[in-house]
Amino acid sequence: MEIDSNPAACQPLLDYFGKLIPLKQEEKELVEAKFHPHTFAKKQFALQEGKVCDHFDFVVKGCLRLFKVDEKGDYHVFQFATENYWILDLTSFHKRIPSSLNIEALEDTLVLRITHRDLLDLYIHAPKFDRIFRVLLENHFMQQQERIGQLFSSTAEERYLSFLEQYPHLFNRIPNTQIASYLGITPEFLSKIRKNLQAKG
């Protein structure tokens, strides 16, 4: 693993915020004070079912998955997070209740992490972040709604194709088992889909 976890490495996050709304110097310093780097080796968990999710993570490098294990023991991926994405269990984070989800590194990963306490603090000292996190949440919400729409009215093949379109940087980076789990199908069926598609063009 070659990950630079130099504590001054908040730049990607400052860039990200700056694109949403320009930050003043003091706001930048607040970000540097409140967000801390954290690394995870491949297969390491960033959140384990049953624990309260006390952190809001911004991925600088690598890839994480947010997933649930159901009563039958099947895995379901809610979300992948690569560079410049956010990941957490929002429900556990806000309600301060044990999470029913897990977050696991699919690659060696570096995140910038803020705790619940520090985020509230950030909101108080710099209300601009109320707006930033509102916008960020709006974006997440839209993506989720799109996904519900697809689960309702598209076949697994259609969903696979639109996954390839929407996440071209991901499909050759993570195993097909994970993609299947994101699409809500079995790896066997994804394999069948891929074979069919190949037969076409």
Partner DNA sequence: CTATACCCTTAATCTAGGTTAAGAAATCAG
Partner DNA sequence: CTGATTTCTTAACCTAGATTAAGGGTATAG
**Alpha helices (H) in 9-167, listed in sequence order:** 11-20, 25-34, 90-95, 116-125, 128-153, 156-166
61 CB contacts (<8 Å, ≥6 apart)? 3, 83, 109, 110
Q: Residue written as tokens 């709006």?
A: 138
Q: How far, in Å, CA of 99 to CA of 105, rounded?
A: 17
Angular region, 186: left φ>0, alpha ψ -120 to 50, beta rest: beta
Among 2, 26, 70, 188, binds a second copy (CB under 8 A): 70
7, 71, 188, 201: which one contacts DNA (CB under 7 A)?
188
Task: Please give the residues from 132 up to 171 whose contact with a second copy meets the rule CB under 8 A.
Answer: 133-134, 137-138, 140-142, 144-149, 151-153
Residue selected from 11, 42, 184, 196 as contacting a second copy according to rule CB under 8 A: 184
187 touching DNA, by CB under 7 A: yes
Compute the distance between CA of residue 105 and CA of residue 34 in angstroms, rounded to an integer: 23
CA angle at residue 30 from 27 to 31, to 5 degrees? 90
185: partner contacted, choices DNA, a second copy, none (Cβ within 5-8 A by kind): DNA
Q: Which of 156, 161, 164, 170 touches DNA by CB under 7 A?
A: 156
Kindly state whether residue 71 participates in binding a second copy, applying the rule CB under 8 A.
yes
Q: Is 96 in the site for a second copy (CB under 8 A)?
A: no
Nearer to DNA, 92 or 178 (CB): 178
* Binding site residues, a second copy, CB under 8 A: 68, 70-72, 74, 76, 78, 90-91, 94-95, 123, 127, 130-131, 133-134, 137-138, 140-142, 144-149, 151-153, 184
